[in-house]
Homo-oligomer: A and B are copies of this chain.
Amino acid sequence: MATTSNQATWIWYPGDYEIWLGNRMNNRRTERGAFFPPFWKADSHYVTVEFSTEVDLAEAEEVEIAVEGIFNIKLDGKLQFGMPSKFLLPAGRHNLNIKVWNQATPPALYVEGKSVRTNSAWRVTYEDKEWIDESGKASDTSATIYASAGCWNFTKEQRPSAYTLCREPLAAVAVEEVTGGRLYDFGRETFGYVTFAGVEGEGEVAVYYGESPEEAQDTAYCETLDRIRFTAEEVIDLATGMAAPRGELYTFNNSKAFRYLYVVCQGVTIEQVGMAYEYAPVSYRGSFKCNDEELNRIWEVGAYTMHLTTREFFIDGIKRDRWVWSGDAVQSYLMNYYLFFDSECVKRTTWLLRGKDPVTSHTNTIMDYTFYWFIGIYDYYMYTGDRAFVEQIYPRMQTMMEYVLGRTNRNGMVEGMTGDWVFVDWADGYLDKKGELSIEQVLLCKSLETMALCAALAGEEADVEHYQQLSEALRSQLKPAFWNEAKQALVHNRIDGVQSEAVTRYANMFATFYGYLTPEEQTAIKSSVLLNDAVLKIVTPYMRFYELEALCVLGEQEAVMREMKAYWGGMLREGATSFWEKYNPEEQGREHLQMYGRPYGKSLCHAWGASPIYLLGRYYLGVKPTTPGYATYEVRPVLGGLEWMEGTIPTPQGEIYVSVTPHEVRVRATAGEGLLYLPGQADPVKIEAGVDRVVAY
């Protein structure tokens, strides 16, 4: 949530800090010692912005001013001398404008007085259009576009450009002498900066990182590595050339993902190899426990996977790509609502993924990822009730949608054009990407609906109608274009107006939980598609997320429970300590490590692997908001074969605790008005805030 208290906090142009910080995040990826930035346009902050507020003071007030950048102060339009760190505001009504220039990091401002304090109520603009005429008269500046200032929770001392995650030292749990060096095992998948203590001698050290012992010891193919040189005086990073004075402890410059380290020394000995574990200081507000220990373990490993990938932003995987991807992020958001409820990370990620105008490609270059970006914003609003964010980001939703609509065909549908990556999913089998894909049209339709909803929140009435017309026009075409009566399914695509014969799960899943199918069609696709083994199987936890969600919506929690135990339990049985980018139960041994034509290309800690976090909270404990921000919500518990379960769901105002046995449901909520739906009972039971409610059924 935006800072709503009257605490002073650092402010900036909305989205700018996020984009800048995101570049730092995305650009920490390395591949075998090479810097590896994203292949899409990286945007940057506005270098000059003006912050302003109106004050009305009973008495004069001295304010402290801290700025990241070169700045000036205008009081009632009059420039003040220099860049003071304290400034006396006179009593009465005044306009205070502070203009900041900073090329390297986002212009940021902190003002703190008895009553005048920087927060999201300040305005900010990147062009003030304040020209004067020859007589010195100020122009009409009514064309200047102001935004509400962006902010987070930074205190005066926490300069935004100096932000870092938390670190704590962690030791290896096992060390083994192996050919040529030592193999360190940190016990589970982890992330941070390797540290060396007690180094003697001069020479070079190579560190090979591995999510598996195989990877760490395969010096020719491991995905990441470091080489450093100890001289008498310095430690030199041989990839970057950066040198640091030699001291008691050497900490590597860049964080890496690993469980295993293979360390090879030439000319030096190292007393202790450790790490500075790096993490986001999130709270585990969500919880889940049940009678099935395997399921409990799945939840725990899912939560840990989420923690490792919840950082400055929600990233895909910690070894690779360490980038922010929209399709991955939108799932992280949903899991996050049932685990950390870190709204700030959702907002940061949404800003970063959007970047700045002009739009020159789809989000992350991927057509479907553009659509997930839209959809994630309305999800955010439903879970948090944060309308201010929707208002703030709405102009960039508009320009993104203009880009999309500029690439539709005469049917108002999207087809992959040059430069569009039509991703859908990684599949073990042929996936046609040509023509009008049904899944892409379903996602576009939902995106247009999202635009209409958000336009209403932003008070843009004309836009509401515009987007509603477009979404209705597209939706009315979906079934004529893709429904195949013989197959009782939406087909995969249509090329030059001709429906293909192929059926895939994707559009059928999404059309189910978006409510685009009739009850009869839903029932039909359950057997014709979702539970039909002849249809191309899904081998990523990414798409299993939606597949299992669709089955839950269709009331198949028992089947989904079996799938969760088989699939995620399967990874645990393979030794996973975090969930993977891809898992095909039919593969064996080292096959589980390879991807992208590389023996260790696969990420073994991938956010999209953690979907049970979401499924268990939303479709078993059964909690979801029914009006924005959990003002009202429903609890619709389904044991799905379990004997009992209990858990906590975070909301903006507190937690909802739910405990379920086959005969009794207990609910306790800090705030909001809930409705408890029980199996076989037509009318829901009301849940009041602060009241411990136990209902037998």
A42, B46: Cβ atoms under 8 Å?
A: yes
B135, A596: Cβ atoms under 8 Å?
A: yes
Contacts of A239 in B (CB 8 A): 81-83
B99, A37: Cβ atoms under 8 Å?
A: yes
Tell me if A279 is interfacial: C-beta within 8 Å of chain B. Answer: no
Tell me if A40 is interfacial: C-beta within 8 Å of chain B. Answer: yes
A426 to B101, CA, bound (A): 30
A105 to B104, CA, bound (A): 7
B46, A80: Cβ atoms under 8 Å?
A: no
Known: A46-B42, A103-B20. A33 touches B130 (CB 8 A): no
Contacts of A468 in B (CB 8 A): none
B81, A597: Cβ atoms under 8 Å?
A: no
Q: Which B-chain residue is minimally distant from A239 (CB atoms)?
A: B82
Tell me if A23 is interfacial: C-beta within 8 Å of chain B. Answer: yes
Contacts of A27 in B (CB 8 A): 48, 70, 101
Known: A103-B20, A135-B597. A360 touches B40 (CB 8 A): no
Tell me if A159 is interfacial: C-beta within 8 Å of chain B. Answer: no
Tell me if A598 is interfacial: C-beta within 8 Å of chain B. Answer: yes
Contacts of A85 in B (CB 8 A): 241
8 Å CB interface, A10-31 against B: 20, 23, 27, 31
Contacts of A103 in B (CB 8 A): 20, 23, 44, 104-105
Mask, A68-80, CB within 8 Å of B = 1, is 0011110000011
Tell me if A358 is interfacial: C-beta within 8 Å of chain B. Answer: yes
A234 to B400, CA, bound (A): 53
A31, B134: Cβ atoms under 8 Å?
A: no
B101, A42: Cβ atoms under 8 Å?
A: yes
The segment from A137-145, A243-251, A564-572 found at the interface with B is: A137-145
B37, A241: Cβ atoms under 8 Å?
A: no
Q: Which B-chain residue is minimally distant from A420 (CB atoms)?
A: B143
8 Å CB interface, A613-657 against B: none
Tally chain A residues at the interface, Cβ within 8 Å.
Answer: 75
A142 to B418, CA, bound (A): 7
A-side interface mostly: loop
Tell me if A128 is interfacial: C-beta within 8 Å of chain B. Answer: yes
B81, A33: Cβ atoms under 8 Å?
A: yes
8 Å CB interface, A131-185 against B: 131-137, 139-140, 142-145
Q: A82 is contacted by which of B79, B240, B361, B419 (Cβ under 8 Å)? A: B240
Copies, count: 2
A575 to B241, CA, bound (A): 59
Contacts of A37 in B (CB 8 A): 48, 72, 99, 101
A20 to B15, CA, bound (A): 21
B358, A131: Cβ atoms under 8 Å?
A: no
Tell me if A126 is interfacial: C-beta within 8 Å of chain B. Answer: yes
Q: Which B-chain residue is minimally distant from A34 (CB atoms)?
A: B79
A433 to B92, CA, bound (A): 37
Tell me if A505 is interfacial: C-beta within 8 Å of chain B. Answer: no
8 Å CB interface, A578-624 against B: 595-598, 601
A358, B361: Cβ atoms under 8 Å?
A: no
Q: Which B-chain residue is minimally distant from A82 (CB atoms)?
A: B239
Known: A33-B81, A41-B46. A595 touches B360 (CB 8 A): no
Contacts of A132 in B (CB 8 A): 596
Tell me if A514 is interfacial: C-beta within 8 Å of chain B. Answer: no
Q: A80 is contacted by which of B34, B40, B72 (Cβ under 8 Å)? A: B34
B421, A139: Cβ atoms under 8 Å?
A: yes
Supplied contacts A34-B79, A35-B71, A35-B99, 9 more A-B pairs, CB within 8 Å: A27-B70, A33-B81, A34-B73, A41-B127, A42-B46, A103-B104, A104-B104, A139-B421, A357-B357
A-B contact pairs, 25 of them (CB 8 A): A23-B101, A27-B48, A32-B81, A34-B80, A35-B71, A35-B83, A36-B72, A38-B48, A40-B127, A42-B48, A42-B126, A44-B44, A44-B47, A82-B239, A83-B239, A132-B596, A134-B595, A134-B596, A136-B597, A136-B598, A136-B601, A142-B419, A143-B418, A143-B419, A144-B419
